Amino acid sequence: MSAGSRLPALGRLLLPLLLSISRPLAGEAARYDPTWESLDARPIPDWFDEAKFGIFLHWGVFSVPSFGSEWFWWYWQKEKREPYVKFMNANYPPGFTYEDFGPSFTAEFFDANQWADILKASGAKYIVLTSKHHEGFTLWGSKYSWAWNAVDVGPKRDIVAELASSIRNRTGLRFGLYHSLFEWFNRLFLEDAASAFMKRQFASLKSLPELYEIVNQYQPDILWSDGDGNAPDTYWNSTGFLAWLYNDSPVRDRVVTNDRWGAGTICKHGGYYTCADRYNPGHLLSHKWENCMTIDTKSWGYRRNAQLSDYLAIEDLVKLLVETVSCGGNLLMNIGPTHDGRIPVIFEERLKQMGNWLEINGEAIFSTKPWRAQNDSVTPDVWYTSKPKEDILYAIFLKWPSSGTLVLGEPKGIPRKTEVMLIGYAEPLPWVSLGEKGMMVATPLLSFTKLPYQWGWTLRITHAY
Ligand X SMILES: *[C@@H]1O[C@H](CO)[C@@H](O)[C@H](O)[C@H]1NC(C)=O
CB 459 within 8 A of CB 376: no
Q: In terms of CB distance, is 147 or 198 closer to ligand X?
A: 198
Site stretch for ligand X (CB under 6 A), options 20-28, 234-242, 344-352, 449-457: 234-242
Asked if 375 interacts with ligand X (CB under 6 A), we say yes
Q: In terms of CB distance, is 83 or 282 closer to ligand X?
A: 282
Distance (Å, whole) CA 86 – CA 72: 12
Distance (Å, whole) CA 89 – CA 91: 6
* Segment 342-346 long-range contacts (CB within 8 Å, at least 24 positions apart): 342/109, 343/115, 343/118, 344/302, 346/295, 346/308, 346/311
Rg of the chain, C-alpha, whole Å = 25
Which of 165, 217, 379, 433 contacts ligand X by CB under 6 A? 165
Q: In terms of CB distance, is 114 or 165 closer to ligand X?
A: 165
Return the ∠ at Cα 95 (arms to 303 and 305), rounded to 5°. 15
Half-sphere exposure of 433 (CA within 13 A, CB side): 12
Asked if 207 interacts with ligand X (CB under 6 A), we say no
CB of 237 vs ligand X, minimal distance in Å: 4
CB of 449 vs ligand X, minimal distance in Å: 27
Asked if 367 interacts with ligand X (CB under 6 A), we say no
CB 337 within 8 A of CB 295: no
Distance (Å, whole) CA 433 – CA 275: 40
Amino acid at 307: Q
Considering only residues 274 to 293 of the shown chain, the ones binding ligand X according to CB under 6 A are: 282
3-state secondary structure of 306: coil
CB of 220 vs ligand X, minimal distance in Å: 16
Q: In terms of CB distance, is 89 or 169 closer to ligand X?
A: 169
Distance (Å, whole) CA 257 – CA 179: 11
Give the interface size with ligand X as a residue count (CB under 6 A).
Answer: 11
CB of 265 vs ligand X, minimal distance in Å: 16
CB of 240 vs ligand X, minimal distance in Å: 2
Which of 204, 219, 247, 462 contacts ligand X by CB under 6 A? 204
Site stretch for ligand X (CB under 6 A), options 84-92, 165-173, 180-188, 271-279: 165-173
Asked if 169 interacts with ligand X (CB under 6 A), we say yes
Greatest pairwise CA separation for the chain in angstroms? 87
Q: In terms of CB distance, is 63 or 374 closer to ligand X?
A: 374
Asked if 216 interacts with ligand X (CB under 6 A), we say no
Under 8 Å CB-to-CB from 165, ≥6 apart: which residues?
112
Q: In terms of CB distance, is 230 or 377 closer to ligand X?
A: 377
Which of 63, 166, 186, 299 contacts ligand X by CB under 6 A? 166
**What does the buried/exposed string (b/e) look like for 179-202 if buried means 16 or more CB atoms within 10 Å of the residue's CB?**
bbbbbbebebbeebbeeebebbeb
CB of 204 vs ligand X, minimal distance in Å: 6
**Counting Cβ atoms within 10 Å, is residue 372 exposed (0-12), middle (13-18) or buried (19+)?**
exposed
Residue 426: other Cβ atoms inside 10 A? 7
Tell me the Ramachandran region of residue 423: left when phi exceeds 0, alpha when psi lies from -120 to 50, beta otherwise.
beta
CB of 129 vs ligand X, minimal distance in Å: 15
Q: In terms of CB distance, is 135 or 162 closer to ligand X?
A: 162
Q: In terms of CB distance, is 126 or 148 closer to ligand X?
A: 126
Site stretch for ligand X (CB under 6 A), options 22-30, 133-141, 236-244, 361-369: 236-244
CB of 451 vs ligand X, minimal distance in Å: 25
Residues 237-266: x/- map of binding to ligand X (CB under 6 A)?
A: x--xx--x----------------------
Which of 20, 35, 89, 377 contacts ligand X by CB under 6 A? 377
Q: In terms of CB distance, is 81 or 170 closer to ligand X?
A: 170
CB of 113 vs ligand X, minimal distance in Å: 6
CB of 190 vs ligand X, minimal distance in Å: 20
The partner residues of 440 in beta bridges, in order of sequence, read 407, 432
Distance (Å, whole) CA 434 – CA 415: 11
Alpha-carbon distance values, 151 to 137, 156, 166 (Å): 10, 4, 18
Q: In terms of CB distance, is 282 or 404 closer to ligand X?
A: 282
Q: In terms of CB distance, is 33 or 50 closer to ligand X?
A: 33
Under 8 Å CB-to-CB from 427, ≥6 apart: which residues?
444
CB of 122 vs ligand X, minimal distance in Å: 20
Contact residues for ligand X, defined by CB under 6 A? 165-166, 169, 204, 237, 240-241, 244, 282, 375, 377
